[in-house]
A and B are shown apart, each in its own frame.
Chain A
């Protein structure tokens, strides 16, 4: 894991401008990114943030107006024709709406990129068999896309993308059209592929859940710019921008948190409601036990959630502390001394 990894993708000062009726629009505005080999890198943003344009520039489906993009040693933003087609065989892509050929069976869809690459028939058949087993589609070989569920279609998409042993897999909102359960199974498949094949994955999404679940590093995009970037856990622990905080809240706090807290505040006028934030090791400490043993307090757990990310766990916990005011104060002091973030929501 910790061996020195090579830079695989480098995006430098990239600008993409579109002419629109209202004048020029910067879809991507001065973006810089470095993505390492074997990494799962996520770009999150709301629709219209420019993330889709950004990912499409990585395989030359869009050409940047300015700046340079190097993927696996080739300057994708400059090459054309045969060289670009060759490069694209090493940078494959999966799509939100799968984009399978409905006229072909599962087997023939997966064989399609191999046909494009000119792989001989026998080798094609062998490779397709391996891929079908890899993505868990055994038994559905001769089905047409119209006979498959969304999750199965995306598995075909993934198998097809892996056919030519690419160096990079680009995922363009690959789970956005799937239900939560199917999303998780597809994400698990992507992690599995990343671990087994050491494949670099770049994905764009508007769901923090996806970032939390599989990404090592994340970049947050807003109106064409990358406003924040870093290891996922770090960004969860310490979000800098307003937009990042909003994304982090998507996964750390259940939707109804605010209402619940307000309700509890009115119900427990005494004591303090505090929010604890655990990161990494901290999330696994028996903090509450320590609190109850060391202080003469009533500790009431109101709400909590622990999320797993690729670089560790992250959790939030809302508790109500009741007792002597000085004792509560000391307890808060004690918690602060641990590797846990504390925020007092209310003073009773």
Chain B
């Protein structure tokens, strides 16, 4: 066992964990913002809603569906020119961010839309009957009333993002995926791969715990 432990380069593992954490954190943050905006647009332009607009709704829905359907590993490759233009390189954690965000935001947008649809129409109507503007309805009714679902959806998305970062790692973004592939698989050290897996699992469990905590805390139903 001690021999096995020695095969793990702990400083590199720590560095890789930090990279994964960094990629996950930034992409979750941006995905949240973009996803909420896209989800709100999908909901608000939908049938019978405040900004009912079939054309806009169809365009956004098509965009969301297309990017949600492309397998992530292909999306990274497809986005290489775009990423190079934006980040200037294909290596490092920053280079993974555009693909991570474009892969996850549409997925989250759908969850946001579903969460918003769950809101009782009567509550929106009540706000309207009080003379609320559309902005007030969005920030005082739609978002607060769907918050638990928004958070639990974000938790699911964040966990997929962790697995996306591992895939991105294989093609040079760094992080735990990269570590497992390079230090574990390429050097034929299964124990190292196992250690990297455990690190990822711990991260996923922590995300789930935090997500559940805030979902329950905000849910007053």
Partner-B contacts on A (CB < 8 A) = 59, 61, 84-89, 91-93, 95, 97, 99-104, 112-113, 115-117, 144-146, 160, 164, 170
Contacts and interface: CB of A to CB of B under 8 A. Distances in A.
Nearest to A96: B122
Contacts of A170: 129
Contact of B129 (A93, A97, A103): A93
A89 B128 contact: no
B2 interface: no
Contacts of A61: 125, 128-129
* Interchain residue pairs A-B with the least CB separation, the first 5: A88-B131, A99-B126, A85-B131, A99-B122, A113-B130
Contacts of B131: 84-89, 113, 116-117
A160 B127 CA distance: 11
B207 interface: no
Nearest to A86: B131
Interface residues of B, number: 21
B89 interface: no
Contacts of B220: 102-103, 144-146
Given A85-B133, A116-B127, A101 B141 contact: yes
B128 A99 contact: no
Given A101-B141, A102-B145, A89 B126 contact: no
Interface of B: 120, 122-123, 125-133, 136, 140-141, 144-145, 147, 218, 220-221
Contacts of A95: 122, 125-126
A160 B125 CA distance: 14
B25 to A, nearest CB: 26
Contacts of A146: 220-221
B130 A104 contact: no
A13 to B, nearest CB: 24
A53 to B, nearest CB: 13
Nearest to A97: B122
Contacts of A101: 123, 141, 144-145
A102 B146 CA distance: 10
- Which of A92, A99, A146 is the most central at the interface, judged by chain B CB atoms within 10 Å of its CB? A99
B84 to A, nearest CB: 44
